[in-house]
Amino acid sequence: MKYEETAYPADERPVTTLFMLMSVDGKISAGASDELDVDKDFPKINGVKEGLHQYYEIEQTTDLWSFNSGRVQAKMGVNEKPLPDKSPVSFVLLDNHHLTEHGIRYFCARSQTFVLITSNPEHPAFAVHEPNLRIIYQKEFSLRNVLVSLRKDFGCERLTVQSGGTVNSLFLREKLLDFVDIVVAPVLIGGKDTPTLIDGRSLLSESELSELGVLKLKDCTVLENSYLRLRYKVIR
């Protein structure tokens, strides 16, 4: 089923939490190549692999709605993976051209409700007819309107964001993050081109400082094997 873009009041959106695994220097990938990925590479690194399970255990306790991007999921191989079992989570993916028809069917099989957001009228999702697939088509992308639609049309009250640094930056710049929940792995990755927690457009002037995300620490938990969990409330 396809939903056209509609303008909604800005305050009728889910509570959002950015939940990510990152290195001590803020990297969310094992390198700048799409061939490198923390899910694939961290389990191979001595000193990192021993405590990695804690991130996935915490992930199982996050919200029942999860926001991600097609690029990240294509990098993780969903266009080739066998269809999975149903999970209790509803997935929301922002994608214009990274997911194939198989990738769409993968998330239909995995999700309670699968919501695809796209500005591509030729997206392969339009050829898929699954009862739990919903498509939000926007000629001009509006993240705020997407979030309000998720709450108004699909009953999404709380949303966990687990996307790439570019999409994460949209949430930050548009002031659409409420909480940040970070698991820090005991490793330094480096590299100016390696994706970070927040990428996207850089601030260039003093007038843009109002776009900063200022955080209040709510909890700091020392995990096993030198891992940390940091939880913040976004206050501006």
Mean pLDDT of the region 205-212: 79
The secondary structure of 36-68 as a DSSP string is: --HHHHGGGSTTTGGGTHHHHHHHTTS-SEEEE
Per-residue confidence at 11, pLDDT binned at 50, 70, 90? low
Condensed to tens digits (0 to 9), the pLDDT of residues 149-161 reads: 999 999 999 999 9
Condensed to tens digits (0 to 9), the pLDDT of residues 36-67 reads: 889 999 999 999 999 999 999 999 999 999 99
Domain 2-234 in this protein, CATH class: alpha beta
The answer for residues whose C-beta is within 8 angstroms of residue 57's C-beta and 6 or more apart is none
Q: Mean pLDDT for the chain?
A: 93
pTM for this one? 0.91
Domain ranges across the chain: 2-234
